[in-house]
Amino acid sequence: MEARVKKGLRLGIDLGGTMVKLALVNEKGRCLAVKEVATVKAPARLAGLLMGAAKEWLSSHRIVGTGVGVAGDVDSARGIVRFAPNLKWKNVPIKQFLRRAGIPAPVHVENDATAAAWGVFHTGLKKKSRNLVVLTLGTGVGGGLVFDGKLYRGATGSAGEIGHMVLDPSGPVCPCGNRGCFEATLGGVALARRGKAASPYELYLRARKGNRAALAVWKEAGRALGQGLANLINVLNPDTIALVGGVAGAAPLLLKFARPALAKAFQTPRRAARIVVPAQNKHTGVIGAALLVE
Ligand SMILES: [Zn+2]
């Protein structure tokens, strides 16, 4: 079954801890307009604020629905955010709040990384991939899975937390509380801290200049990436693995160090898995959310 998207304009919302991005998106995943507003944590006020921001678009276009990506654990079927640490939300019925404020139905709520993976799939990989793993390498590490052309959510909508796959139980502490998660080695915050740099980009520039300490941090991160990807390849047998997000800019360096661990994945699935770094589209989060309106 090909993932079919209903024709018409839809509203996409990417709800983060500090900023909310809104976009008017067509069925092909093209953004016609984008807006950003600062996040307000009180759900009713937030819903009102978003409605205010989208009002002009809604009055001049017919909208077929709204897709929302939220950084947190989401009950997609009921439109409830079970837990969003950045927003300090627990069991917030965000769909209901948005509907009450007048945001166009149907409203579909999804985890933000899952929505972003859907956006990555639709903006360039749809014709080339059926079984896709998306790794978002940013401040943290997130992920999303597309199997047989369809988004994979798992039993409770929690699937795709690739950043919290444990690679070394005695490794560094992760923001989630566990040790040795992917994110604890490969997340932007972890990289900068370990390299004593202001940002992963600064650490990247240092490594490019041959700074040994900086190279050692990237080497360790690359090894973790290789080991993680080898696991994903053996378990999921994807045709494509897409690395996106700011830290994916360092992919050539990371993949060089990832190679030995990657080579240990089983041969057939390893050969089948293309690792790609798609041209950065900074709107994949809102696009993916919007395209979840089916
Ligand atoms: Zn973790």
For 210, which DSSP code?
A: T
Give CA–CA dist 22/13, Å, rounded.
5
CA of 85 to the centre of ligand 1 (A): 13
CA of 18 to the centre of ligand 1 (A): 21
Nearest-5° Cα angle at 202, 201 to 204: 60
pLDDT in tens, 115-164: 999 999 999 898 899 999 999 998 889 999 999 999 999 998 889 999 99
Whose structure tokens read 């018409």? Answer: 8
Report helix angle 284-291 to 112-120, nearest 10: 90
The confidence score (pLDDT) of residue 134 equals 96
CA of 276 to the centre of ligand 1 (A): 24
CB neighbours of 53 closer than 8 A, spacing ≥ 6? 22, 35, 37
Nearest-5° Cα angle at 250, 249 to 251: 90
The confidence score (pLDDT) of residue 1 equals 39
CB neighbours of 180 closer than 8 A, spacing ≥ 6? 166, 167, 168, 169, 170, 171, 172, 174
For 95, which DSSP code?
A: H
pTM: 0.91
CA of 173 to the centre of ligand 1 (A): 8
CA of 92 to the centre of ligand 1 (A): 23
* Three-state secondary-structure class, residue 14: strand
State how far the alpha carbon of 264 is from the alpha carbons of 72, 221, 226, 228, 287, in Å: 33, 17, 9, 11, 35
CB neighbours of 252 closer than 8 A, spacing ≥ 6? none
CA of 198 to the centre of ligand 1 (A): 22
The backbone torsions φ and ψ at residue 252, rounded to the nearest 5 degrees and listed phi first, read -55, -40
Residue 262 contacts residue 229 (beta carbons within 8 Å): yes
CA of 180 to the centre of ligand 1 (A): 7
The confidence score (pLDDT) of residue 139 equals 86
Tell how far CA 271 is from the center of its chain. 25
CA of 242 to the centre of ligand 1 (A): 21
CA of 216 to the centre of ligand 1 (A): 22
CA of 172 to the centre of ligand 1 (A): 10
CA of 35 to the centre of ligand 1 (A): 31
CA of 169 to the centre of ligand 1 (A): 11
CA of 145 to the centre of ligand 1 (A): 18
DSSP 124-159: IITTT-SSEEEEEESSSEEEEEEETTEEE--SSS-T
Residue 35 contacts residue 20 (beta carbons within 8 Å): no
CB neighbours of 176 closer than 8 A, spacing ≥ 6? 164, 183
The confidence score (pLDDT) of residue 3 equals 57
CA of 245 to the centre of ligand 1 (A): 18
The confidence score (pLDDT) of residue 4 equals 67
Rounded to the nearest 10 degrees, how much is the dihedral formed by the CA atoms of 256, 261, 266, 270? -20
Residue 68 contacts residue 47 (beta carbons within 8 Å): no
Residue 256 contacts residue 221 (beta carbons within 8 Å): no
Regions of the chain short of the pLDDT cut 70? 1-4
The confidence score (pLDDT) of residue 17 equals 85
CA of 231 to the centre of ligand 1 (A): 17
CA of 95 to the centre of ligand 1 (A): 28
pLDDT in tens, 216-239: 999 999 999 999 999 999 999 999
Q: Name the nearest CA neighbour of 27 among 9, 54, 13, 1.
A: 9
